[in-house]
Structure 1
Amino acid sequence: MLRLWLGYEDLTRIRITPGLSPVGQTVLGAQASRGTGPAPLPGSWRSRTRTGLTGPSRFLLDLVPPGRCLPDFLTPYTRVPGLEPELDAVASTPVRRLRAELEQTYGPRPPASWLPRLAAGDGETMRILIRGLRDFHRAALADAWSELSAHQRAEASVHARRMAGGGIDGLLGGLHDAVRWTPPVLEIETLRAGDVRLQGRGLVITFSLFVAGPRVLVTADGPVTVVLPVPRPFTGAGRAPDALPKVLGRTRAAMIGLLGADGELTTGTLAARLGVSAPSASQHATSLRGAGLITSRRRGKTVLHTLTPLGERLLHGQGTRSRGGGDLNAARES
């Protein structure tokens, strides 16, 4: 039994979010792919995922045996959301923390022979792990991200309405059958045990199709995250692969997909992941922005791009007709 002790500041910092970060979903998805449950995951998704894995992806699977708690450095808290910032945070984990969390999670018998090298801070081992996280996300989640997001948003809405009607007691008292709220303690039947005092860090309640029961993610400098299962069927099939390229062209369709998966990306990151130059990525972004599909904002020397609600609807297959004057013809590649 894990007991979360919530103070006044924590109660004022409760947030309900539609879904875990990309790396968080990737890690839980990798663990789910190794088991036979939870029920919402079809065998076809597991088979398709295992077929598409690369060597580094299989490297990742060594770290996430089913039915085990996971080291917290794999699910970092970042103030800038997105796959790449989170991967950077994983890669920057101090060696002392790596060693401590790996020993705490796996004890004297690590599940893979390469784990001592990771615990010792070997740079090449960490680079392979980062490639594994990125490749698993591409193989297992990227095409299905819109479906995952839709399920998670629906579940978040249920809990938000519960909080609106019953306040904090109504929310925390109705999270899950395995969660009990006895103020000021939130008791959770999960893989962890012990007591965690939040001390003003706050609580995030989020959702995943890759867990059968509540999971708790704890970080040193961010809020504690309670991950709840989504009781909805998941196909994992994703959208038709040629739908968006026919409307936007291949490169801009891929850009829309990347932003839908990561939430916010810089021009340089988009260029690197699309395999184009930075000026070319900027030009594509300008066209998508002109069509009302993305917004861009400057932060220091970088420009961050995010999907608009219209871009989200287009990505999720809910129509391509713009509201507010956006012209999809302007977004098509010549």
Structure 2
Amino acid sequence: MLRVHFTSGDFARVRFAPRPSPVAELHAALMMMGAPHEELLFGRWRGRLLRALPRTAEPLADLVPGGTAPRFLDVLGETREEGLARVRAARPECVRSELERVYGAGRRPVPPWIRALHAGSPDAWRVWERAQRAAYETVLAPVWSRVQDLHRAEFARHALVVAEQGLGAALAALAPGFREGVWEWPGTALREVHLAGRGLVLLPTFHWRGGPLLQDLPDRPVVLAYPAGGALPLTGAGGAVGDAGAVGDGHEEALAGVLGRTRAALLRTLTEPRTTTELARCLGVSNATASAHAQALRAAGLLTTTRTGRSVRHAVTPLGALLTSSGS
């Protein structure tokens, strides 16, 4: 069981990652490729990607000799370049100690390039970076737009729960065991994590199907990556591998599934401030219906309403703009 301990200050430092992290999502996908479970649904996906991976990506397997990755790879970053730069910025002593930990103090043979990485060789870092880029292009690039769509929908879902019911309800929706400042995730190995004022970042991952993945580094917010994908792996076509069916139809469908079609359409209509009458006309509904939907979106922090005399105008908030954006 994972037990996350909160201080009073940590509750003000809980946030949901507003965008997916390419490096973290890639690592989740690579871990799923090496996981033995759910072979019936994920076997074809694993086989296809393992056959497609170029030889330049093979060194990544050397970093997880026993199924455990070194912690200096645990980074966020809203772009691939930012994530790679954060890994490269890891303290040399951290890189050395983590490589020693995963290789078990000499219990496994150490590949030459790992020895060079342990020594801080720039050439070894270039080997790692080439491997990361090759793996990203094969595994993640074909489905990245789909990951972004799913992340927006997941972010919207939690934003609505927090706005309407509070943070406790949002945490309980992920794992119900939250009481007396301790959040418990059952079904995982026993681990005690003390936030100690660092705060918590919640990051959905759409490839990993196991328990939560924890990034717990000194002097940084703890990052908990939780499985949020469907039961089937992603493909670049926006569906699932094999013949088992699709997991969704893109950003518009994902957002409509969370907000409802009329409310999602209302948000997209607000490319500029509009009155209730204008919204009703655009949506093909009555003024009363448009007003009710606007009120619900306003309560969730997705739009604002200002009154001038007898007229009211609605405008999208930054959060609403984020959810309706189709940018990369």
Note if contact 1:56-1:129 (Cα within 8 Å) is conserved in structure 2.
no
| Amino acid of the structure 2 residue aligned with 1:227 | A
Which residue number in structure 1 is paired with residue 111 of structure 2?
113
CA distance in 2, matches of 1:312, 1:41: 30
Alignment of 1:199-278 (within 5 A): 199-211=196-208, 212-239=210-237
CA distance in 1, matches of 2:213, 2:228: 12
CA distance in 1, matches of 2:206, 2:40: 7
CA distance in 1, matches of 2:200, 2:186: 17
Note if contact 2:152-2:323 (Cα within 8 Å) is conserved in structure 1.
no
- 1:16 deviates by 1.6
Note if contact 1:4-1:196 (Cα within 8 Å) is conserved in structure 2.
yes
What is the TM-score normalised by the length of structure 2? 0.64
Note if contact 1:25-1:208 (Cα within 8 Å) is conserved in structure 2.
yes
Relative to structure 1, the CA distance from residue 34 to residue 185 in structure 2 (aligned partners, 3 Å threshold; closer, same or farther) is same
Relative to structure 1, the CA distance from residue 33 to residue 147 in structure 2 (aligned partners, 3 Å threshold; closer, same or farther) is same
Identical positions, percent: 29
Relative to structure 1, the CA distance from residue 309 to residue 187 in structure 2 (aligned partners, 3 Å threshold; closer, same or farther) is closer
Which residue number in structure 1 is paired with residue 53 of structure 2?
53
Note if contact 2:207-2:234 (Cα within 8 Å) is conserved in structure 1.
no
Which residue number in structure 2 is paired with residue 21 of structure 1?
21
Residues 1:170 and 2:184 aligned together:
no
| Amino acid of the structure 1 residue aligned with 2:22 | P
| Amino acid of the structure 1 residue aligned with 2:211 | G
Which residue number in structure 1 is paired with residue 34 of structure 2?
34
CA distance in 1, matches of 2:233, 2:103: 32
Which residue number in structure 2 is paired with residue 99 of structure 1?
96
Which residue number in structure 2 is paired with residue 275 of structure 1?
none
Note if contact 1:163-1:171 (Cα within 8 Å) is conserved in structure 2.
yes
CA distance in 2, matches of 1:48, 1:121: 34
Note if contact 1:19-1:207 (Cα within 8 Å) is conserved in structure 2.
no
CA distance in 1, matches of 2:40, 2:158: 19
Relative to structure 1, the CA distance from residue 165 to residue 98 in structure 2 (aligned partners, 3 Å threshold; closer, same or farther) is same
Structure 1 residue runs without a partner (length 5+): 241-291, 293-306, 316-334
| Amino acid of the structure 1 residue aligned with 2:143 | A
- 1:208 deviates by 1.1
CA distance in 2, matches of 1:71, 1:188: 23
- 1:93 deviates by 1.8
Structure 2 residue runs without a partner (length 5+): 239-270, 272-320
Note if contact 1:18-1:156 (Cα within 8 Å) is conserved in structure 2.
yes
- 1:32 deviates by 1.2
What is the TM-score normalised by the length of structure 1? 0.63
Residues 1:183 and 2:197 aligned together:
no
| Amino acid of the structure 2 residue aligned with 1:187 | E
Which residue number in structure 1 is paired with residue 265 of structure 2?
none
| Amino acid of the structure 1 residue aligned with 2:230 | R
2:183 alignment partner, SS class: strand
- 1:24 deviates by 0.6
Which range is displaced more, 157-166 or 204-213?
Answer: 157-166
- 1:191 deviates by 6.4
Which range is displaced more, 208-217 or 139-148?
Answer: 208-217
2:152 alignment partner, SS class: helix
CA distance in 2, matches of 1:128, 1:116: 12
Residues 1:312 and 2:292 aligned together:
no
Relative to structure 1, the CA distance from residue 205 to residue 312 in structure 2 (aligned partners, 3 Å threshold; closer, same or farther) is same
| Amino acid of the structure 2 residue aligned with 1:143 | P
CA distance in 2, matches of 1:219, 1:61: 22
CA RMSD of aligned residues (A): 3.2
- 1:57 deviates by 1.0
Note if contact 1:69-1:191 (Cα within 8 Å) is conserved in structure 2.
no
- 1:154 deviates by 2.8
Please give the per-residue CA displacement for 1:27-54, whole angstroms capped at 9, x wherever unaligned. 1111111234457964343233222222
Note if contact 2:75-2:87 (Cα within 8 Å) is conserved in structure 1.
yes
CA distance in 1, matches of 2:188, 2:140: 24
